[in-house]
Amino acid sequence: MWIPVAGLPLQLRLSALAGAGRFCILGSGAAMRKHLPARNRRGLADSSPQLLPEPDFRNPPRKASRSSLDFKRYVTDRRLATTLAQIVCGKPNRPPHLLLECNPGPGILTEALLEAGATVVALESDKTFIPHLESLGKNLDGKLRVIHCDFFRIDPRSGGAIKPPAMSSEGLFKNLGVEEVPWTAGVPLKVFGMFPSRGEKRALWKLAYDLYSCSSIYKFGRIEINMFIGEKEFQKLMADPRNRGLYYVLSVVWQVACEIKVLHMEPWSSFDVYTRSGRLENTKRKEVLELLQQNLYLIQMTPRRNLFANSLTPMNYNIFFHLLKHCFGKRSATVIDHLRSLTPLDAADILMQIGKKEDEKVVNMYPEDFKRLFETIESSEDCTYKWLYDDTLEDV
């Protein structure tokens, strides 16, 4: 996918053109330190030294990224962009949703989306792209807004001061004029983006906590998320007892919470990969090569309208999470064994109520079974103490 980079800011263009041996100058990681300097020095000697991108010293990155696998991927192919725009915007006759695009980067997809008639808010975490993105929306009278923001660091769970590109959802949505809608109402807005190549799992967990607790972005309603996700994590996310090797806590959490649809599949190689220093072209590193052979899946995750219809609520979701973590902590065990550490109620009786046998294994339970199990215990009437859980058992 090699496209003209006319619209790119100076710094990026330079690095993109710099040629072989130039990847990963800033993206240093512990694993890279040993062999990379040599490569770099050689690379510098070959190409003209003045082409080095000027690192931005005014705003030094607070935390150096841990690994050189910390890539950003951008859609740079126009045809792909058009396809995606069609998928995401849906049928043309519907009133278009407000669309949050995460990390649009060079803005190829943004253009396509705008052409498809969507109203786009571009949340870009990399400041260097912002001037270019802003230039895209010049004549569109407000159909495009660009904000310096990292979608995955909205309302960080660690607490503390929030500095851009981290943001508070309250401020962001107020700024955009998005109103809170009840859970049972329709989808208030859509998000399009890609999970960060590293930490897909972390991002999924954060979103899951936000979703179940109706906080952060989900405070505003059932926000639909369209994201590209790596093959491995995708398979795990969609796994169930039929595919028990990959079945784990997040599979249950997400399948219970959302309807998950696969919208599109695209090989890694269709995207441009940028490290911190710029575009990644060819590499000999094994991990990277392996990654490049995988596919990315565009999935749509729409929170279920009836998620909180029964006794699972934002009040007790953490117990549900604890139940799942407990069960998958020893997944080969029977459910009844786990229940005995989770609730003082009669475990056999509960299993009978949900129509499961006493020797049911954890990995044989479908996501909805877990939800039913939880709700059965939660709504059992005759007992004051339903759970052994308390907040001290969790560090969130």
Partner 1 sequence: MSVLCWGRGAAGLRRALQPCGCPGLLAKEGILGGVCGPRRSSSASPQEQDQDRRKDWGHVELLEVLQARVRQLQAESVSEVVVNRVDVARLPERGSGDGGPQPPRKVQRGATGASPVPRSGWAQRLEKDKRIQRMHMQQLEVNLQMQVQSQSEELKVWPKHLQVEPRLLSKQLAVFLAPESSWEEQLPRVLQEAPRKLRLAVGRAPSTQAQLSGQQQKLLAFFKCCLLTDHLPLAHHLLVTHHSQQRKQKLLTLDMYNTVMLGWARQGAFRELVYVLLMVKDAGLTPDLLSYAAILQCMGRRGQDAGTIERCLKQMSQEGLKLQALFTAVPLSAEEQATVLKAVHKVKPTFSLPPRPPPAVNTSKLLRAVYAKDGPVSYPKLHLPLKTLQSLFEKQLCVELASKVCVVSVEKPALPSKEVTHARKTLQTLRDHWEKALCRVLQETKNHLEVEVHKGRFSLYPFLCLLDEREVVQMLLQVLQALPAQGESFTTLARELSARTFSRHVVQRQRLSGQVQALETYYRKYLHLLASDTKVPNPCLPRQYWEALGAPEALREQPWPLPVQMELGKQLAEMLVQATRMPSSLDNRHGSSRLVPVLYHVYSFRNVQQIGILKPHPAYVQLLETAAEPTLTFEAVDVPMLCPPLPWTSPHTGAFLLSPTKLMRTVEGATQHQELLETCPPTALHGALDALTQLGNCAWRVNGRVLDLVLQLFQAKGCPKLGVPAPASEAPQPAEAHVPQSAAPARKAELRRELARCQKVAREMHSLRAEALYRLSLAQHLRGRVFWLPHNMDFRGRTYPCPPHFNHLGSDVARALLEFAQGRPLGPHGLDWLKIHLVNLTGFKKREPLRKRLAFAEEVMDDILDSADQPMTGRKWWMGAEEPWQTLACCMEVANAVRCSDPAAYVSHLPVHQDGSCNGLQHYAALGRDSVGAASVNLEPSDVPQDVYSGVAAQVEVFRRQDAQRGTRVAQMLEGFITRKVVKQTVMTVVYGVTRYGGRLQIEKRLRELTDFPQEFVWEASHYLVRQVFKSLQEMFSGTRAIQHWLTESARLISHMGSVVEWVTPLGIPIIQPYRLEHKVKQVRGGIQSITYTHNGDISQKPNTRKQKNGFPPNFIHSLDSSHMMLTALHCYRKGLTFVSVHDCYWTHAADVAVMNQVCREQFVRLHSEPILEDLSRFLVSRFCPNPTPRKISQCWEASQLKETLQAVPKPGAFDLERVKHSTYFFS
Q: Which stretch binds partner 1 (CB under 8 A): 90-98, 134-142, 239-247, 336-344?
A: 336-344
In 3D space, the residue among 173, 196, 21 whose CA is nearest the CA of residue 105 turns out to be: 196
**Integer Cα distance of 54 and 46 in angstroms:** 18
SS3 track for 361-388 = EHHHCCHHHHHHHHHHHHCCCCCCCCCC
Q: Which stretch binds partner 1 (CB under 8 A): 5-13, 18-26, 261-269, 340-348?
A: 340-348
Q: Which of 315, 357, 359, 368 is close enough to bind partner 1 by CB under 8 A? A: 315
The reply on whether position 171 binds partner 1 by CB under 8 A is no
Q: CB of 369: closest distance to partner 1 in angstroms?
A: 21
The reply on whether position 214 binds partner 1 by CB under 8 A is yes
Nearest residue (CB) to partner 1, 214 versus 299: 214
Q: Yes or no: say if 105 and 72 are a contact pair by the CB < 8 Å rule.
A: yes
Q: Which of 219, 264, 305, 361 is close enough to bind partner 1 by CB under 8 A? A: 219
Q: Which of 31, 183, 264, 331 is close enough to bind partner 1 by CB under 8 A? A: 183
**Integer Cα distance of 263 and 227 in angstroms:** 10
Q: Which of 314, 360, 364, 375 is close enough to bind partner 1 by CB under 8 A? A: 314
Q: CB of 259: closest distance to partner 1 in angstroms?
A: 17
Judged by CB under 8 A, how many residues of this single chain contact partner 1? 32
In 3D space, the residue among 328, 326, 377, 375 whose CA is nearest the CA of residue 349 turns out to be: 377
Nearest residue (CB) to partner 1, 56 versus 390: 390
Annotate 103-171 with DSSP letters as a single string: --TT-HHHHHHHHTT-EEEEEES-GGGHHHHHHHTTTSTTSEEEEE--GGGBS-TT-S---TTSB-HHH
Give the interface with partner 1 as residue ranges (CB under 8 A): 180, 182-183, 213-215, 219, 308, 313-316, 322, 325-326, 329, 340-342, 344, 346, 383-385, 388-395
Task: Please state the residue numbers annotated as binding site.
Answer: 75, 124, 150
